[in-house]
Structure 1
Amino acid sequence: MLKTDVTWPESFRYQTNTEWEPVGFFSEALCNATSFDLMLGFFSSSAINILSYGFASFIYNGGKMRMIINDILSSDDVTAISMAHDGNNLPFFDLKNLERLSYTLNKRDKHFFECLAWLIRNDRIEIKIVRMVNGSGIAHTKCGTFSDGINKIGFEGSVNFSLTALIHNKESLNVNCDWNGPADVGRINGIQKSFDRAFKGEDNDVEFVDASHLKGYTTVKTKSKGLEELLNDELELIESAAEANIPDNIKRILQKTKSKVERAIDKIRNIEKAKENEPRFPYPAGPRPYQQQAFENWKKNKQKGLFAMATGTGKTMTSLNCLLEIYKSKGYYRAIILVPTLTLVDQWEDECKKFNFGHIVKVCSKNKSWKSELDAIKFQEEFNYSEQDPSYIIIATYASFARDSIFKDLISISSKINKKLLLIADEVHNMGSPRILNRLEGVKYVRRIGLSATPERQFDDRGNKQLRKFFGCDNSENYTFEFSMREAIDKGYLCRYNYYPHLVRLTDEEMSEYMKISLQLAKFYNFDNDSFPGSDDILMRLLLKRKRIVHKAANKQLIFNEILQEWYNERGSLKYTLVYVPEGNKPDSFGADLYDEAESLSDDDYSDSLIDQYTSIVQSISPTTTVKKFVSGTGDRNQILDDFASGKLEVLTSMKCLDEGVDVPRSELAVFCASTGNPRQFIQRRGRILRTHKDKHRAIIHDLVVVPEISLVADSYKMERSLLASELKRVRDFALLSENTDFAYEELSPILDYFNLSLF
């Protein structure tokens, strides 16, 4: 501050070759002011060498500056500029020729101009260049004012802004301070009025010279430095001045300036360090427009909502942006995130860290210390002695959340923070399983977000209704926010793709067994409403047997081999290939979403055998191709996905494990060998393939469709026609968004005609 942090002479007069040098006044005033009005005559390089020592500190204080200076156009100055290239000293700056001038500047001069440029870029300086109206003489005024926002001082004297005047000449400078009484205030006001008249063009003795080139030059052609860099430059100049041939009293003044600069640098570094660790959106451009719109819709819906967003459009980022907006508004972030798989626990943790969210607790079997970490959060909530609300994120699997002991731990973190904690349910349809649905009444968190590409649960009206109510969508048929795959592809958030369905015929032996089962299933089938009745053990076993025949179809593997062989012949590699192998452990054409827990009808030996067969086919085409199975129980999943993304691992064969949330953006070729009637599965799987990547221009999808040849007069014909129509929904959805829609129609037209079905 000008009044308290500057040591003033009793006389408030500065004079060269005394303890109170004029240069000391300017250095200290700059370091303690926030505004500076300067009106002077000669504007020389020598003076700037001295003023450089306080300029960056002035900027750090938030300083704003106005300056009125002479135009320097004399023949002597032009000569000096041209001679300067030969190493001669430059006495005056020609501000109308900055580009040429820049080649002559020394380090201190450059620092001054870099500070000047910083002020210009940030609209914190105004410069007026003036000349006498009659064309003779110069405007030789030497005065100005400093202010720190509280106090104001004015100065006036014989001092020119030249090294000779400031240090060597017998020059004097009088200072008036507003705390010294009415007389000083009057003198300050007089200086200010004189400056303002000239600055506004109301002084009839001078006229303005165009100064627009100053802004253009400093904005475009001078190096743009940050404030910390300017302060560091100033610190370096002050340290080098200690060895220069200048009076000791000036060195002592510069030492005071050095201390202020060092404190400013420390503060900036602490602020920058805090900013580095502060939660923020991971990418400089910020959230995508639709992601921000999702937040606005959620906020209007009382911070509850279901986000129905196509796989690959950034559901994770969208929900975490909502958490970030809470942080920006409230100063804290707290969330419980529920996910279906262990792989997604790790992926969500990685995404949270991208936002600089910390204090993340993973409640799952992989983290043995989760209980103590959760207890620490409870203690922090109950005995929080700091003024700042604690922040944390808890990530749990649905399987963990469904367990009584863990559910009680999560719900009882603190009854006081229900309005502060955000519940994010990823792949929210999982929340509709009976074991979790029955717990929703006990969940009191007010802020809620449900995420899924397909929030609706198949064959589960009760679960859908309760989920809609829980997430605040029960009074509307729409979701809180929707972003379709078509929109995502058209706007470039998902890549375009070609789709190739392949008709697969059953062998005679397979067809014979298939027909036996079909005739038995026909006895259960309700031909009036084209559906099967409710759950029945015999029916379920028949459906499972039928599905196994479809999945194990020998011709599937033949066609799969042909697809890979053709791709390998074209590319010379199978890199970035994803294969969905049939799991065959439940009849997904019936009640698919009603079996979210472990399957009693599963047959792991059968599934393992099947995936081994497909993996073997890959290796038979190219023995050097690296291929890995990605199934439940696979260890090092994150490493496998990293290796696949880098190309170190070329082919992934998977059963269901890549359905939900797992990020595989580099996949270019996908082969769907599993026939699925569950819309969620094929929508999720397609989304996996359509993730964008800088080196990926289009995805290729091959889909194997098994079509049994049923006689038109067979008792089961109508049932088979209905079941085929259900499976063709997948084909239709895939084809409609593809780049080669006509191909799918042409490929399937014979079977469509036979069963009297339409693809579209």
Structure 2
Amino acid sequence: MADSVPEEDGISSPTFQDLDLSPEYRTGDQPLESFYIPVLQRASSYDRAAGYFDSKSLQYAAQGIAGLITNGGTMRLLTAPRLQSADIEALTDATTEPEELEILGDSLSKVLFEDEYAEYLRTDRCRCLAWMITEGLLDVRIAYMPDADDCNPFQHYHEKIGIVSDHAGNQVAFTGSINETGAAWTANYESFDVFRSWCGGEEARVQRKADAFERLWNNHDPKVTVRRLPDAVREGFEEVSPETVDGKPALDMFFSEEGEGPSPTVREQDERELWTHQQDAIEWWRDHDYTGIFAMATGAGKTLTALRAARLQADIRLTIITVPSKVLLDQWRDEIEAVFGPETRIQECSGRTNWRESILQLVDPYRVGTLQSVHNLPRTVLLTTIHTAASDPFRKAVQYIPPDNLQIIIDEVHNAGAPTFQKALEIDAGRRIGLSATPDRQWDEEGTEAIYEYFGGHEPFSFTTSDAIENGYLTPYEYHPLICELTAQEYEKYAELSAEINTLAARVHSDEDVPRRVLDQYEKLLRDRAHIKKTAKLKPAEFGRFLESSHPTPAIVFCEDTEQLEDLEAELGNRDLSYGVYISNREDEQADAMYRFENGLIDYLLAIKCLDEGIDVPDAPTAAIIASSRNEREFIQRRGRVLRQSESKERAVIYDMFVLPGPNAPKDDDQARRLIEQELDRAKVLMRAAENRDAVEQQLAEELDTYGSGYRYLAYV
């Protein structure tokens, strides 16, 4: 048989006989590069039977069929679907072909067009497969075994054979362990035998494989049922079929620069199973044109959800991830590598790196490169702080990237609404994800509006702490207020400041222009009054009584300022209790304190604000919130630090310093009532999802009864 075929212009077309094919291939022989791709580059038809099928296998099958497209060849793919048990039972019970096709169509449509893998069909090489199906160049049939028995009710068609033909009539057959998946061709340990029709003694083996495939394809094997691809699935492929140039798909990334086939690169994937609400969040994000905020409870998996969403089509996009502080950079880096793969290029852009020297080299391909050149690059992430993301040098570096080539994740997105950081919201990314348990900026409507507008203008995807506890994703908890009263001098000062605030309030909230000095004075009065509650003189003593009570450890203690922290250190020292300090101005102690806390060497970890946002802390069951903040975001985040599930705890406990006016406050005093209402605002949020809510309401009602008629009823949620 001739080893080449003359074409009309007199140039010979290469055939299989040009290749030095081995009779056997194993993983160490690099079968993708040495066998699969070169054979298919010369092929005119390809018949493939493989036991495993999903949309990922279609993606990887596409790596070898560029030659078929170039040659105008055809492919027949016979495969077993990965169906759920209920689907297979329904197929077994089906009595007519239409019922079987409906079951197959529903199941395959769910796999191919409704879950994460659907993204591959929209932008990757699978679109070429969709085009081949639409053009009649690829025919897919589904094989399953209807005769299940009681011992093995879910048997699978699991054969793996391939028959490839060239224009000269040569045929190559192969059979062995290898499936039509990327892992099979590049990662697993596999082996298969090869038979060549032009080699003596092998032609009959090739023919037997071809005959076996034909029997299966035409549904003539009594043990296997073969069905055509259901119309619903075929129509789904047609919807994602790409535009063409000169009758061929216009997807540069399908071919290498030389037109000799696709890149064999296979990226490692994080396959942690997502919780239902995480899957729902990603689907919601898609439905909202790939923009939106995930308002998910601390500990409910916001980070993984965002990265798994961003991983979709990340091969053709530069990803920017901003975090609120440098402390979180390393934590995010670990997650990025786990989800995006260890080969991902991560450029940290912060004060501890020389990012300005290297960022343009990373960014330029996404600004001016072809789809092919971008797709062949490692996935690229710019990991930065919100401070850097809002800076002029960073924004200029990413300024001219087309939006379709850029996506952004902003962690603790409420920070981006601050006037200092709103310039980060000028980054024109086509895909946008904001993360925060509490995205609204308290007392800052303009900042909140700016955030919402940037992320699509719609309400966030919400998954509350109560939702997470109810669904078993967070630890149940108890809430216990620690009652602390103001001294006579403190309440007198509190009432005095309140009177001054009330005098200015009407002017500040009027429609008239208010001088800046008046606004500054008003804001200072508010801060000074809040400071009285946050740093009440009796708090250290009350903390001491807490230390002497029965409570689980280790415990995180949230303080207001350094002075208060030192007072609490004294209480711990007086009782010879072990503790560490984790605050920004004592960075030399941070790592050591966290290490000792993680390893059970200390029982208490004192912090001011460093542990508020996103820091993963050990399996601490207890939080003591000494700073009586009205900032809802702040105390919700502090609660979240101890709600993460752990084998070492069945429930968490939140202790909260609850400030009351004290015995010197006049009965039914308006200022006292407002102070109580402000404290109750926080307590009601924290007790709403607590297991002991009813008991806490009763406790607070009794405490408030001494302040005047009707006060006790304020305690009830």
- Say whether the 8 Å CA contact 2:473–2:645 is kept in structure 1: yes
**Residue type of the partner of 1:364?**
S
Cα distance in 2 for partners of 1:508, 1:550 equals 13
1:370 aligns with 2:355: yes
Cα distance in 2 for partners of 1:426, 1:324 equals 16
The structure 2 residue matched to 1:561, chosen from 527, 544, 562, is 544
Provide the residue aligned with 1:297 in structure 2: 284
Give the TM-score taking structure 1 as reference length: 0.57
State the secondary structure of the residue aligned to 2:654. strand
- Say whether the 8 Å CA contact 1:499–1:744 is kept in structure 2: yes
Q: Classify 1:121/1:653 alpha carbon distance in 2 versus 1 (closer, same or farther; 3 Å).
A: same
- Say whether the 8 Å CA contact 1:578–1:669 is kept in structure 2: yes
- Say whether the 8 Å CA contact 1:419–1:447 is kept in structure 2: yes
1:508 aligns with 2:488: yes
Provide the residue aligned with 1:657 in structure 2: 610
The structure 1 residue matched to 2:452, chosen from 455, 459, 468, is 468
**Residue type of the partner of 2:534?**
H
- Say whether the 8 Å CA contact 1:335–1:394 is kept in structure 2: yes
The structure 2 residue matched to 1:436, chosen from 404, 414, 421, is 421
Provide the residue aligned with 1:392 in structure 2: 380
After superposition, the C-alpha distances for 1:370-408 in whole angstroms (9 at most, x for unaligned) are 111213213444675873433311122122223333332
Task: Report the Cα offset of residue 551 of structure 1.
Answer: 2.8
Provide the residue aligned with 2:442 in structure 1: 458
Task: Report the Cα offset of residue 518 of structure 1.
Answer: 3.9
Provide the residue aligned with 2:329 in structure 1: 345
- Say whether the 8 Å CA contact 2:491–2:664 is kept in structure 1: no
- Say whether the 8 Å CA contact 1:310–1:483 is kept in structure 2: yes
Task: Report the Cα offset of residue 502 of structure 1.
Answer: 1.9
**Residue type of the partner of 2:716?**
L
Q: Classify 1:645/1:529 alpha carbon distance in 2 versus 1 (closer, same or farther; 3 Å).
A: same
Written as runs of structure 1 = structure 2, the 5 A alignment for 1:415-426 is 415-426=400-411
Provide the residue aligned with 1:523 in structure 2: 503
Cα distance in 2 for partners of 1:342, 1:302 equals 31
Amino-acid identity (%): 27
**Residue type of the partner of 1:362?**
E
**Residue type of the partner of 1:609?**
E
Provide the residue aligned with 1:447 in structure 2: 431
Provide the residue aligned with 2:557 in structure 1: 579
- Say whether the 8 Å CA contact 2:559–2:627 is kept in structure 1: yes
- Say whether the 8 Å CA contact 1:507–1:554 is kept in structure 2: yes
- Say whether the 8 Å CA contact 1:425–1:450 is kept in structure 2: yes
- Say whether the 8 Å CA contact 2:49–2:159 is kept in structure 1: no
After superposition, the C-alpha distances for 1:606-656 in whole angstroms (9 at most, x for unaligned) are x32221111232233235x14223335624745644442332343211112
Provide the residue aligned with 1:280 in structure 2: 269
Task: Report the Cα offset of residue 340 of structure 1.
Answer: 1.2
Q: Classify 1:191/1:710 alpha carbon distance in 2 versus 1 (closer, same or farther; 3 Å).
A: closer
Provide the residue aligned with 2:702 in structure 1: 750
Task: Report the Cα offset of residue 152 of structure 1.
Answer: 7.2
Report which stretch shifted further, 719-728 or 732-741. 719-728
Provide the residue aligned with 2:347 in structure 1: 361
Provide the residue aligned with 1:722 in structure 2: 674
Cα distance in 2 for partners of 1:566, 1:430 equals 37
Cα distance in 2 for partners of 1:660, 1:614 equals 22
Task: Report the Cα offset of residue 460 of structure 1.
Answer: 1.8
**Residue type of the partner of 1:506?**
L
Provide the residue aligned with 1:46 in structure 2: none
Q: Classify 1:514/1:302 alpha carbon distance in 2 versus 1 (closer, same or farther; 3 Å).
A: closer
Cα distance in 1 for partners of 2:615, 2:573 equals 25
- Say whether the 8 Å CA contact 2:580–2:593 is kept in structure 1: no
Unaligned 5+ residue runs, structure 1? 9-32, 37-61, 65-119, 127-145, 155-175, 203-207, 211-269, 583-606
Provide the residue aligned with 1:306 in structure 2: 293
- Say whether the 8 Å CA contact 2:580–2:597 is kept in structure 1: no
After superposition, the C-alpha distances for 1:719-746 in whole angstroms (9 at most, x for unaligned) are 4323421221111111121111122112
Q: Classify 1:546/1:374 alpha carbon distance in 2 versus 1 (closer, same or farther; 3 Å).
A: same
Q: Classify 1:302/1:279 alpha carbon distance in 2 versus 1 (closer, same or farther; 3 Å).
A: farther
The structure 1 residue matched to 2:633, chosen from 668, 673, 680, is 680
Cα distance in 2 for partners of 1:708, 1:720 equals 6
Cα distance in 2 for partners of 1:554, 1:313 equals 37
Task: Report the Cα offset of residue 312 of structure 1.
Answer: 1.0
Q: Classify 1:343/1:177 alpha carbon distance in 2 versus 1 (closer, same or farther; 3 Å).
A: closer
State the secondary structure of the residue aligned to 2:653. strand
Larger radius of gyration: 1
1:495 aligns with 2:495: no
Written as runs of structure 1 = structure 2, the 5 A alignment for 1:170-209 is none
Task: Report the Cα offset of residue 470 of structure 1.
Answer: 1.2
Q: Classify 1:34/1:560 alpha carbon distance in 2 versus 1 (closer, same or farther; 3 Å).
A: same
Cα distance in 2 for partners of 1:708, 1:153 equals 89
Report which stretch shifted further, 420-429 or 459-468. 459-468
State the secondary structure of the residue aligned to 1:726. helix
Report which stretch shifted further, 639-648 or 696-705. 639-648
State the secondary structure of the residue aligned to 2:658. strand
- Say whether the 8 Å CA contact 1:324–1:333 is kept in structure 2: no
**Residue type of the partner of 1:433?**
A
Task: Report the Cα offset of residue 675 of structure 1.
Answer: 0.6
Q: Classify 1:152/1:682 alpha carbon distance in 2 versus 1 (closer, same or farther; 3 Å).
A: same
Written as runs of structure 1 = structure 2, the 5 A alignment for 1:581-596 is 581-582=559-560
- Say whether the 8 Å CA contact 1:611–1:629 is kept in structure 2: no
The structure 2 residue matched to 1:709, chosen from 662, 669, 692, is 662
State the secondary structure of the residue aligned to 1:419. helix
Provide the residue aligned with 1:162 in structure 2: none
Q: Classify 1:728/1:550 alpha carbon distance in 2 versus 1 (closer, same or farther; 3 Å).
A: same
Task: Report the Cα offset of residue 428 of structure 1.
Answer: 0.8
Q: Classify 1:147/1:339 alpha carbon distance in 2 versus 1 (closer, same or farther; 3 Å).
A: closer
After superposition, the C-alpha distances for 1:491-542 in whole angstroms (9 at most, x for unaligned) are 1111011111122112334334444434444433559999xx9963333333
Cα distance in 1 for partners of 2:22, 2:545 equals 89
Q: Classify 1:665/1:487 alpha carbon distance in 2 versus 1 (closer, same or farther; 3 Å).
A: farther
Task: Report the Cα offset of residue 693 of structure 1.
Answer: 1.7
Cα distance in 2 for partners of 1:637, 1:408 equals 35
Cα distance in 2 for partners of 1:743, 1:344 equals 38
Cα distance in 2 for partners of 1:731, 1:562 equals 20
Q: Classify 1:149/1:438 alpha carbon distance in 2 versus 1 (closer, same or farther; 3 Å).
A: closer
State the secondary structure of the residue aligned to 2:611. coil
Provide the residue aligned with 1:543 in structure 2: 526
Cα distance in 2 for partners of 1:579, 1:671 equals 5
**Residue type of the partner of 1:400?**
T
Give the TM-score taking structure 2 as reference length: 0.61
State the secondary structure of the residue aligned to 2:635. helix
Task: Report the Cα offset of residue 581 of structure 1.
Answer: 0.7
Cα distance in 2 for partners of 1:697, 1:637 equals 28
After superposition, the C-alpha distances for 1:117-142 in whole angstroms (9 at most, x for unaligned) are xxx9874359xxxxxxxxxxxxxxxx
Cα distance in 2 for partners of 1:734, 1:314 equals 20
Written as runs of structure 1 = structure 2, the 5 A alignment for 1:52-201 is 123-124=157-158, 148-150=163-165
Q: Classify 1:416/1:379 alpha carbon distance in 2 versus 1 (closer, same or farther; 3 Å).
A: closer
- Say whether the 8 Å CA contact 2:300–2:468 is kept in structure 1: yes
- Say whether the 8 Å CA contact 1:279–1:324 is kept in structure 2: no
Q: Classify 1:384/1:638 alpha carbon distance in 2 versus 1 (closer, same or farther; 3 Å).
A: farther
Cα distance in 2 for partners of 1:626, 1:503 equals 23
Provide the residue aligned with 1:407 in structure 2: 395
